């Protein structure tokens, strides 16, 4: 029985060795130096940027964007978090900052809070990287 197992193992190794498609190829000295330079040509190009990085370089990075901000962004403005922030997000998108004053069901106190913060807001085109999914209400960042 041991001889049969040994014969089968030897046959399997021989069959695997013979049918192996990976064969080493000789390489010349010129290939050693030219291949890495061609492979690293992309390093000389401008670094790629995604849509989020581009948006953060606009006014979005300085002011609170009513169409793209999440609920946590409203925490830095007294009176907006969480009730007014939720109303603002549920009624987005907005064409202008002043559109936020037309939200249904606002009390006089809430209107005063919004008017006091209009200079802190901006409106840009909604970006799917910011508004898709439930990230506007719960982005998973807990402090």
Per residue of the chain (143 residues), what is the pLDDT tens digit? 888 888 888 878 777 766 666 656 666 555 555 555 556 665 566 667 777 777 667 666 678 999 988 898 899 999 999 999 999 999 999 999 999 999 999 999 999 999 999 999 999 888 887 888 777 887 777 76
Q: Domain extents for the chain? A: 63-131
Contacts of 65 (CB under 8 A, 6+ apart): 59, 121, 122, 123, 124, 130
Instruction: Give the distance, in angstroms, between the CA of residue 118 and the centroid of all CA atoms in the same chain.
Output: 28
CATH class of 63-131: mainly alpha
User: Is the Cα dihedral 60, 66, 68, 74 positive or negative?
Assistant: positive
Say what the pTM is. Answer: 0.60
- C-alpha to C-alpha distance for 49 and 59, rounded to whole angstroms: 17
């Amino acid at each position: 029985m041991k001889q049969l197992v040994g014969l089968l193992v030897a046959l399997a190794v021989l069959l695997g060795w013979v049918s192996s498609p990976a064969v080493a190829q000789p390489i010349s000295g010129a290939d050693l130096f030219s291949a890495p330079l061609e492979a690293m040509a992309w390093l000389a190009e401008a670094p790629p940027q995604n849509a989020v990085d581009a948006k953060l370089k606009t006014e979005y990075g300085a002011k609170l964007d009513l169409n793209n901000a999440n609920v946590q962004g409203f925490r830095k403005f007294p009176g907006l978090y969480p009730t007014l922030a939720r109303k603002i997000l549920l009624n987005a998108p907005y064409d202008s900052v002043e559109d936020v004053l037309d939200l249904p069901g606002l009390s006089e106190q809430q209107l005063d809070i919004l008017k006091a913060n209009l200079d802190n807001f901006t409106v840009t085109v909604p970006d799917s990287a910011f508004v898709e999914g439930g990230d506007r209400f719960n982005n998973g960042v807990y402090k």
